Amino acid sequence: MSAAWQSTAPRVVPMTGARVEAVAAIEASAYAFPWSRGNFVDSLAAGYLAEVMLGPAGEVVAYQVAMQGVDEMHLLNLTVAPTHWGRGLGRHLLDRLVLHARGVPASAVWLEVRQSNTRARRIYERYGFVQVGVRRGYYPGPQGSREDAVVMSLHITQPPEAPDGLV
Q: What residues are labeled active site?
A: 112, 124
Task: Judge contact between 66 and 73, C-beta under 8 A.
Answer: yes
Half-sphere exposure of 30 (CA within 13 A, CB side): 24
Query: What span, in angstroms and rounded, lies between the C-alpha atoms of 104 and 83?
Result: 33
Task: Judge contact between 98 and 49, C-beta under 8 A.
Answer: no
Query: What span, in angstroms and rounded, lies between the C-alpha atoms of 72 and 118?
Result: 25
Report CA-CA distances (Å) from 14 to 32, 37, 106: 26, 16, 20
Query: What span, in angstroms and rounded, lies between the C-alpha atoms of 2 and 13?
Result: 19
Query: What span, in angstroms and rounded, lies between the C-alpha atoms of 35 and 140?
Result: 11
List of residues 6+ apart from 86 with CB closer than 8 A: none
